[in-house]
């Protein structure tokens, strides 16, 4: 039997604010344990939280980018549970009145049509610390140590909507998550590195026979640390549920963990064991009242989103959609292109050069575009030189390689390496004469009206000139001399 | 009269005139501690060495002259619920028996900055839960007026220290009456300011939306002088108010003429000791004779105050006290074979006292799924109505006067077996915490040698009026004598 999936994400995103959500400690990775801690983020008796305004602005920015309703009145709640990485015995989160509600994220569905995936709410909460066990698991460990550097780092939780346009397939789930990550990076609120735990997902999944309108119970899968594991977990879980349904069974509503070693989902707790978090408004924090200006300022300062850039690149520069998508996939690339195009007379050629040549150089050096030593203005200038026929494409590539190594201006490299094209017609003629003398057969073919071998002659001249001859001028010269 | 029996304002004058040194005052206080502490037990920790050093430092400042804060060189006791850097802070609990904070509570820091001398950490009911200072790991504090009686609570140590001369001033905290009631029992003066007036940073929370730090002294002006120092917005406590702080001492001399005093009928009804009623009404009459206008008012939702208080306070407490888990600081009880969960169980079962565990359980229940609306939300609604009662009353009156406690100081152990009886002791004080209002307790006579307290309630952030009415009463009583 074929099944439809109903998939919904709860995504946790670590915000890249300077400081933590409720204290002045820095948000930092790869630092010695317990070096960015204070009375507040270690839950010392009597310490009180003070809200980080920047984190609120980031939450609102996400809400605006995902078309949410922004709640002008919002508040924090305590989620009560015991765990050694949770220093206060409760997590400050949001329950009633989150910052953002009822948004959507448009993806291209499996059917090729635009599909606005529902987003139920976006709220702000604090991260927990990190446990380091003396063995692989908490249960077998002789002892465990706690590192509170991560405690109270701001987390944004983006919750999908079961009832309003949930994801319908594993493929759509992948597209959604990639798009979400792309947007969050574009608006600059998180680096979303999954391997660093900056983007974490729990996923809800239920299935039903194709075309059915009733719902089966859903399961929640936790603990997937990469895109690949997430796809595997969804695949596994979908098959598991299908097998149960086909053998006449019933899906239990439960929380599962994905075991990365065994590549299976394993039960963590059933609905009956679901913890009662005893949410209640945190009396240590006042209700947050956002004024119109605060929200309006965030709206007006929102960076261009990927789909807006795609459209702009296609419309303004007449660049095909596939290329526009490549140029906007990553915000840094898109920023690089935008910086170049300002100085470039030939955007189409620029797009081609970035996608083909700059990417090649970056790949060879395993570098990110942010580390690209080629100044965007210089890159544009090189493309201009090629467009104007001042250098040939192959010389252009040579110059670009050098620019990548030295960061120099293309003209400086041309001067340094003597790559100035041969402008002098006499010089060109001498070269051509030499080639014609070496290839009398070809010359006579051309004279007889066979134009095909002209390319061969041009190629020979190019080789002799080390690419400095202008192929167009060479062709012109051949025509004049041989008059075919 | 010994130095330690004088009030802070007198001592501040003597210090300025060079008649006495801070060291002499401090030594006088510690001499009293040596004499009486064994029977009163006002302190969990005394800090004699630190105090003498601070006193010498104050004397040095005086010798150089210049304009010094009034509190310079004055001994102060600090309730053991406030974090004091490097000085053990137990909250009267086994679970924090060896806890030494790494930072100072803002209110304490302000006292330090003003040059006050710290005498020690005052005894209290464990985590400020109690009305008699009998729920303490350090044993009960006894009433200096009669050591067979309780000192009241939870700031019993602070009130008893000031009453006995074991300190000149004290910091207390008040969540449901914990400053006012022990002050009434011990015969001293104490003010719980408006919620938000004093930073709660470093106050080990019992019920965050109700807790407030306040001042205890022998006189109204002593309280005003201390409140002046500890008040004000603190960037470390978002719930501390931005409302500007007036000069509280200036408010004292304005007299009582024309002040409208509200007498809420509900606070003088069944359950009140008739002798206390008489004393409180005598005080009101004295003020009326001297120009105050007395108006009978109603606070119709008062009967819901105790219920709402114990639902909200315990709910917040159940969450606030979750951090005491044996992981990071304080007491830990675990066995080698036990897992983490077992450590939690053992630590919390043996680390908390009976009353604290009772309130954690009650609060956990109040917040549980399915009960939240019926208990927590309903209590919040009652709270809103109680506040509205006060708002309406304050349209007609400038302050409200009531008894502090329905009963006189009771015998040690008398109410320990009946928690509900103990809870009812707070009947006249809790509604102020629910409404966030300022309130003061000041002595208005004695019955069989036991002090009676008069409660003066003000509008939000109008501590000025509370202090003014209190000071006027104090002066009238002095004149009578």
Query: What are the tens digits of pLDDT across the range A326-382?
Result: 999 989 999 999 999 999 999 999 999 999 999 999 999 999 999 999 999 999 999
Given A246, A278, A297, the domain boundary residue is: A297
Q: Reduce the DSSP state of residue B24 to 3 states and report it.
A: helix
Q: What pLDDT does residue A116 have?
A: 97
In this structure, the answer to whether residues A229 and A361 fall within a common structural domain is: no
Residue A447 pLDDT more than 90?
A: no
Interface contact B319-A89, CB threshold 8 A: yes
Catalytic annotation present for B132: no
**Angle, CA A465 vertex, CA A460 and CA A467 arms, to 5°:** 85
Checking if the pLDDT of A136 tops 80, the result is no
pLDDT score for B339: 82
Query: What is the separation of C-alpha A54 from the centre of its chain, rounded to a whole number of angstroms?
Result: 22
Q: Do A251 and A145 sit in the same domain of this protein?
A: yes
Whether A292 and A331 map to the same domain: the answer is no
Question: For all residues of chain B together, what is the average pLDDT?
Answer: 97
A-facing residues of B in 205-264 (CB < 8 A) are: 205, 207-209, 235-239
A45: chain B residues, CB-CB within 8 Å: 83, 89, 91, 96, 99, 101, 204-205, 323-324, 329
Q: Which two tokens stand for residue A145?
A: 């140590």
- pLDDT recorded at residue B259: 98
**pTM for this predicted structure:** 0.91
Single residue among A372, A399, A417 that ends a domain in this structure: A417
Interatomic CA distance for residues B353 and A320, integer angstroms: 74
Tell me the backbone φ, ψ of residue B228, rounded to 5 degrees. -55, -40
CA separation for the pair A70, A61 (Å, rounded): 10
A319 token code pair: 């660049």
**Co-location of A293 and A308 in the same domain:** no
In the prediction, which pLDDT does B207 show? 98
Indicate the residue of A47, A84, A89 with minimum beta-carbon distance to B340: A84
The more confidently predicted of residues B339 and A160 is: A160
Q: Give the DSSP H or E segment for B172.
A: strand B169-174
- Nearest alpha carbon to residue A57 among A289, A294, A305: A294
Asked which of A417, A438, A454 is the last residue of a domain, the reply is A417
With contacts defined as CB-CB under 8 Å, which chain A residues touch B103? 39, 44, 47
Verify whether the Cβ–Cβ distance B315 to A84 is below 8 Å: no
In angstroms, the separation between the Cα of residue B238 and the nearest Cα of chain A is 6
Asked whether the beta carbons of B396 and B101 are under 8 A apart, the reply is no
Q: Which residues 432-471 on chain B approach chain A with CB closer than 8 angstroms? A: none
A93 interaction partners in chain B (CB closer than 8 Å): none
B318 contacts on A by Cβ (under 8 Å)? 80, 278
What integer is the mean pLDDT of B58-78?
96
Q: How many helices (H) and strands (E) does chain A have?
A: 16, 16
Position A168 scores a pLDDT of 94
- The closest alpha carbon to B14, from B66, B57, B73, belongs to B73
Q: What is the per-residue pLDDT for B82? A: 98
Q: Which of B22, B131, B136, B154 is catalytic?
A: B154
What count of CB pairs under 8 Å joins A to B? 105
Of B103, B208, B322, the CB nearest to A82: B322
ipTM for the assembly:
0.96
Q: Is B154 a catalytic residue?
A: yes
Q: CA neighbours within 13 Å on the CB side: how many for B213? A: 34
The pLDDT of residue B238? 97
**Contact (CB<8Å) B328/A87:** yes
Share of chain B above pLDDT 70, in %: 100
Euclidean distance between CA atoms A41 and A129, whole angstroms = 9
Is residue A422's pLDDT more than 80? no
A140: closest chain B residue by CA: B339
Helix (H) or strand (E) holding B37: helix B22-40
Please state the length of chain A.
484
Considering only CB atoms, A46 lies closest to which of B201, B207, B367, namely B201
Distance in Å, alpha carbon of B277 to nearest chain A alpha carbon: 36
Query: Which pLDDT value is given to residue A341?
Result: 94
Q: What is the pLDDT of residues A275-303, one digit of tens each?
A: 899 999 999 999 999 999 999 999 999 99
Q: What is the CATH number of the domain that holds A470?
A: 1.10.10.410
Q: Give the chain A residue nearest B204 (alpha carbons).
A: A46
CATH number of B3-249: 3.90.1300.10
| Averaged pLDDT, B118-141 | 98
Contacts of A278 in chain B (CB under 8 A): 318-319, 364, 367-369, 372
Report how far residue A55's alpha carbon sits from residue A59's, in angstroms, rounded to the nearest whole number: 6
Residues 6+ apart with CB under 8 A from A341: A317, A347, A350, A380
Distance set, CA A85 to CA A91, A129, A190, A353 (Å): 10, 5, 23, 50
Nearest to B208 among A89, A146, A284 (CB): A284
A150-164, A446-460, B141-155: which has the minimum mean pLDDT? A446-460
User: Is pLDDT at A18 greater than 80 in this prediction?
Assistant: yes
> How high is the pLDDT of residue A231?
92
Between A45, A146, A286, which is nearest B204 by CB?
A45
pLDDT digits (tens, 9 = 90+) for A81-132: 999 999 999 999 999 999 999 999 999 999 999 999 999 999 999 999 999 8
Q: What is the pLDDT of residue A138?
A: 66
- In this model, does residue A483 exceed pLDDT 80? no
Q: Using the beta-carbon criterion (under 8 Å), do B367 and A144 form an inter-chain contact?
A: no
DSSP-assigned letter for residue A93: E
> What stretches of A58-213 adopt beta strand conformation (E)?
69-70, 73-74, 77-80, 90-93, 100-108, 114-126, 130-133, 144-147, 154-160, 199-209
Task: Extract long-range pairs of A319-322: CB within 8 Å, 24+ residues apart.
Answer: A319/A347, A319/A348, A319/A351
Residues A138 and A227 in one domain: yes
pLDDT value of position A443: 85
Cα distances (Å, whole numbers) of residue A42 to A84, A130, B421: 11, 12, 38
| Tokens matching residue A39 | 């009375």
Predicted confidence band at B383 (pLDDT cuts at 50, 70, 90)?
very high
pLDDT classification of B337: cutoffs 50, 70, 90:
low
Q: Do B327 and A49 touch (CB under 8 A)?
A: no
Test the B interface: residue of A33, A43, A48, A143 with most B CBs within 10 Å: A48
**Residue from the list B204, B323, B367 with its beta carbon closest to the beta carbon of A87:** B323
- A386 contact partners, CB below 8 Å, separation of at least 6: A349, A353, A392, A393, A396
pLDDT band, residue B119 (cuts 50/70/90): very high
Cβ–Cβ contact B315 with A under 8 A: yes
Residue of B nearest to A42 (CA): B328
Q: How confident is the model at residue B307 (pLDDT cuts 50, 70, 90)?
A: very high
For residue A273, is pLDDT > 90? no
Split at pLDDT 50, 70, 90, the class of A465 is confident
Range of the domain at A367: 304-417
**What is the number of residues in chain B?**
481
What pLDDT, on a 0 to 100 scale, did the predictor assign at position B363? 98
Whether B325 sits inside 8 A of A80 (CB atoms) is: no
Q: Does B364 touch chain A (CB under 8 A)?
A: yes
Flag whether residue B367 sits within 8 Å of chain A, measured between CB atoms: yes
> Is residue A308 over pLDDT 80?
yes
Both A144 and A162 in one domain: the answer is: yes
The answer on A216 and A362 residing in a single domain is: no
If asked whether residues A108 and A219 sit together in one domain, one would say yes
Q: Indicate if A56 and A161 belong to the same structural domain.
A: yes
What are A's interface residues with B at a Cβ cutoff of 8 A? 39, 42-51, 78, 80, 82, 84, 87-90, 138-139, 144, 146, 276, 278-280, 283-286
Q: What pLDDT is recorded for position A260?
A: 85
pLDDT tens per residue, range B156-191: 999 999 999 999 999 999 999 999 999 999 999 999
Q: What is the CA radius of gyration of chain A?
A: 30
From residue A465, alpha-carbon distances to A397, A412, A432, A462, B343 in Å are 16, 20, 10, 5, 82
Q: In this predicted structure, what is the pLDDT of residue A190?
A: 96
Is a pLDDT exceeding 90 seen at residue A305? Answer: yes
Are A329 and A470 found together in one domain? no
Q: Is B289 among the residues known to form the active site?
A: no
Q: Could you give the CA distance from residue B141 to residue B302 in angstroms, rounded to a whole number?
A: 30
The tokens for B476 are: 């009238």
Q: List the beta bridge partners of residue A100.
A: A70, A122
* Number of domains, chain A: 3
Asked if B430 has any chain A CB less than 8 Å from its own CB, the reply is no
Across the interface, of B99, B325, B369, the residue whose CB is closest to A89 is B325
Contacts of A140 in chain B (CB under 8 A): none
The pLDDT score that the predictor gives to residue A475 is 84
Domain assignments of chain B as residue spans, ordered by start? 3-249
Q: Are residues A205 and A89 in the same domain?
A: yes
What is the nearest CA distance from B258 to chain A, expressed in angstroms? Answer: 37
A97 and A210 inside one domain: yes
């Amino acid at each position: 039997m074929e099944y439809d999936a109903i998939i919904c994400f709860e995504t946790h995103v670590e915000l890249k604010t300077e400081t933590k959500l409720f204290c002045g400690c820095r948000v930092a990775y790869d630092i010695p344990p317990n070096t960015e801690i204070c009375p507040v983020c270690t839950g010392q008796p009597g310490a009180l939280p003070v809200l980080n305004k920047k984190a609120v602005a980031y939450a609102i920015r996400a809400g605006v980018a995902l078309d949410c309703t922004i709640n002008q009145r919002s508040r924090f709640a305590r989620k009560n549970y015991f765990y050694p990485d949770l220093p206060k015995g409760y997590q400050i989160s949001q329950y009633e009145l989150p910052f953002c509600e009822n948004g959507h994220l448009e993806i291209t569905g499996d059917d090729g049509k635009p599909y606005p995936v529902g987003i139920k709410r976006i709220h702000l909460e604090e991260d927990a610390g990190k446990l380091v066990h003396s063995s692989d698991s908490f249960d077998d460990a002789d002892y465990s140590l706690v590192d509170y550097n991560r405690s109270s780092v701001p987390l944004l939780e983006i919750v999908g909507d079961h009832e309003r346009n949930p994801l319908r397939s594993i493929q759509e789930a992948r597209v959604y998550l990639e798009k979400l990550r792309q947007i969050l990076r574009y608006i600059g609120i998180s680096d979303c590195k999954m391997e660093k735990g900056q983007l974490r997902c729990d996923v809800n999944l239920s299935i039903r026979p194709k075309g059915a309108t009733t719902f089966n119970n859903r399961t929640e899968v936790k603990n997937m640390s990469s895109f690949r594991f997430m796809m595997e977990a969804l695949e596994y879980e979908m098959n598991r549920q299908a097998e149960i349904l086909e053998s006449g069974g019933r899906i239990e509503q439960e929380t599962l963990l994905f075991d990365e070693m065994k590549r299976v989902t394993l039960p963590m707790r059933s609905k009956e064991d679901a913890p009662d978090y005893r949410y209640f408004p945190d009396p240590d924090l006042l209700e947050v009242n956002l004024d119109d200006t605060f929200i309006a300022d965030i709206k007006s300062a929102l960076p261009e989103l990927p789909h807006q850039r795609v459209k702009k690149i296609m419309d303004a520069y007449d660049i095909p959609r596939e290329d526009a998508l490549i140029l906007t996939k990553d915000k840094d690339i898109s920023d690089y292109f935008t910086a170049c195009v300002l100085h470039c007379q030939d955007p189409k050629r620029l797009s081609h050069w970035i996608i083909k040549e700059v990417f090649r150089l970056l790949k060879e050096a395993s570098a990110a575009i942010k580390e690209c030593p080629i100044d965007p203005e210089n890159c544009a200038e090189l493309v201009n030189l090629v467009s104007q026929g001042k250098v040939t494409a192959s010389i252009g590539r040579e110059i670009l390689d050098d620019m990548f190594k030295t960061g120099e201006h293309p003209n400086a490299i041309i001067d340094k390496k003597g790559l100035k094209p041969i402008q002098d017609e006499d010089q060109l003629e001498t070269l051509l004469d030499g080639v014609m003398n070496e290839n009398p057969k070809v010359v006579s073919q051309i004279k007889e009206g066979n134009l095909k071998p002209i390319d061969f002659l041009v190629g020979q001249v190019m080789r002799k000139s080390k690419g400095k001859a202008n192929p167009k001028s060479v062709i012109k010269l051949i025509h004049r001399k041989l008059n075919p | 009269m010994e130095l330690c029996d004088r009030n802070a304002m007198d001592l501040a004058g003597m210090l300025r005139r060079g008649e006495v040194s801070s060291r002499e005052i401090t030594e006088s206080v510690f001499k009293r501690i040596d004499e009486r502490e064994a029977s009163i037990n006002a302190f969990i920790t005394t800090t004699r060495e630190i105090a003498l050093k601070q006193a010498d430092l104050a004397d040095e400042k005086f010798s150089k002259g210049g304009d010094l804060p009034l509190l310079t060189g004055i001994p102060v006791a600090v309730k053991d619920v406030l974090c004091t850097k490097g000085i053990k802070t137990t909250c009267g609990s086994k679970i924090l028996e060896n806890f030494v904070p790494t930072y100072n509570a803002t209110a304490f820091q302000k006292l330090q900055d003003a040059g006050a001398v710290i005498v020690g950490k005052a005894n209290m009911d464990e985590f400020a839960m109690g009305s008699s200072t009998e729920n303490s790991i350090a044993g009960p504090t006894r009433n200096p007026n009669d050591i067979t009686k309780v000192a009241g609570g939870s700031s019993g140590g602070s009130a008893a220290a000031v009453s006995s001369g074991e300190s000149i001033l004290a910091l207390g905290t008040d969540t449901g009456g914990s400053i006012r009631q022990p002050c009434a029992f011990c015969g001293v003066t104490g003010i719980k300011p408006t919620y938000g007036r004093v930073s709660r940073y470093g106050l080990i929370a019992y019920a965050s939306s109700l807790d407030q730090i306040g001042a205890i002294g022998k006189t109204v002006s002593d309280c005003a002088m201390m409140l002046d120092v500890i008040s004000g917005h603190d960037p470390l406590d978002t719930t501390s108010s931005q409302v500007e702080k007036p000069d509280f001492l200036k408010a004292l001399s304005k007299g009582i003429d024309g002040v409208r005093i509200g007498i809420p009928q509900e606070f003088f009804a069944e359950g009140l000791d008739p002798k206390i009623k008489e004393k409180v009404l005598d005080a009101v009459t004295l003020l009326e004779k001297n120009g105050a206008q007395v108006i009978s008012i109603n606070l119709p939702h008062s009967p819901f105050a105790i219920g709402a208080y114990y639902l909200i306070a315990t709910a917040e407490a159940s969450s606030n006290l979750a951090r005491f888990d044996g992981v990071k600081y304080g007491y830990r009880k675990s066995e080698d074979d036990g897992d983490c969960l077992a450590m939690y169980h053992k630590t919390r079962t043996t680390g908390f006292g009976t009353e604290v565990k009772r309130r954690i359980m009650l609060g956990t229940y109040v917040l549980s799924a399915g009960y939240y609306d019926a208990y927590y939300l309903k209590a919040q609604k009652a709270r809103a109505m109680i506040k509205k009662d006060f708002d309406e009353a304050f349209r007609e009156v400038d302050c409200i006067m009531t008894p502090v406690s329905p009963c006189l100081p009771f015998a040690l152990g008398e109410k320990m077996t009946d928690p509900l009886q103990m809870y009812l002791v707070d009947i006249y004080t809790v509604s102020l915490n629910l409404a966030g209002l300022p309130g003061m307790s000041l002595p208005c006579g004695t019955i069989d040698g036991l002090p009676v307290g008069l409660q003066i309630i003000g509008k939000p952030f109008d501590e000025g009026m509370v202090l003014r009415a209190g000071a006027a009463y104090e002066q009238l009583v002095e004149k009578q004598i």
